[in-house]
Homo-oligomer: A and B are copies of this chain.
Amino acid sequence: MNSDFPTASGSVQWQLGPIIDALRTSRESTHNIRHQGRVRELPSRDVLTGVVNGVSAALFPTHYGRPDLNDESIDYFVGDTLNVTLDRLVGQVRRALRFSPEYEEAGDAQLAERAQAITRAFAASLPGIRALLVSDVQAALAGDPAARSVAEIMLCYPGTIAILYHRLAHCLQRLGVPFLARLAADIAHSLTGIDIHPAARIGASFFIDHGTGVVIGETAVIGERVRLYQAVTLGARRFPVGEDGSLVKGAPRHPIVEDDVVIYAGATVLGRITVGAGSTIGGNVWLTHSVPPGSNVSQAQSRNT
């Protein structure tokens, strides 16, 4: 049969054999990326998205759950949603732990026990996280002259989605599942254009307006009542290199932003510097040194030609 043309039934023969062979060779020898030759089951982006949705519904049942809940039915909803969600989360935690050096070789029972303990601790953190998120929503209502209601902020503000994902991701990070935390952060990034490393520490009443292009680095520390606009970077200036020439992971290298700071659109704040409490950083400012509390930093004007 001349396989360059479709067969009678319309199907094409693609000469798959050599391609499959070449891919196998690439996979197993020339471009092998398996960790120590092994396959570890990966967390699932879709499942984790479902977990965040489930937690959101348990935290704010009438906003993110079902609008027809009432005093009688709401706790059944919260209880069942939490139960289903934690059952799903514990499996993802177990998978993610396999990527932590200390659990790479752990037995199945030890891994399962640790995943349960983490998931239980995560669940116990939820009321506290809800309190923080309410402070964030109220900060948005106070900070945006275009905002009209709590509901609008919860449904239509990318900053709300970003901080919701972050507070959950940060909790997972603290509890020892950085892979899962990172995956949650990237889902939020894809949805909002806001990229917050899950290890960043962010105080209450935090508000990002518009938000696209915001980047907050791994070791950033943000105080209370801080407000950011789109395209703000809280980044690293340089990466510390160890004696062997490789990058030192985890060293403090991102800014500390104290309470009540406002940073306008496009500002770039780099390095382990401190932006003092109550400061205002103007739009497009490029800042690589600490500024004292109450500072007001702005950039030079463009010229008219």
Contact = CB atoms under 8 A, between A and B. Distances in A.
A52 to B, nearest CB: 14
Contacts of A175: none
Given A22-B127, A151-B35, A83 B76 contact: yes
A266 B233 contact: yes
B233 A13 contact: no
Contact of A156 (B31, B183, B268, B305): B183
A215 B152 contact: no
Interface residues of A, number: 151
Given A9-B41, A19-B123, A145-B250, 13 more contacts: A6-B116, A8-B40, A16-B73, A24-B78, A27-B61, A33-B137, A35-B150, A43-B155, A99-B148, A156-B185, A193-B212, A195-B211, A298-B305
Nearest to A84: B66
A16 B90 contact: no
Contact of A126 (B13, B19, B58): B19
B192 A76 contact: no
A260 interface: no
Interface string A60-71: 011100111111
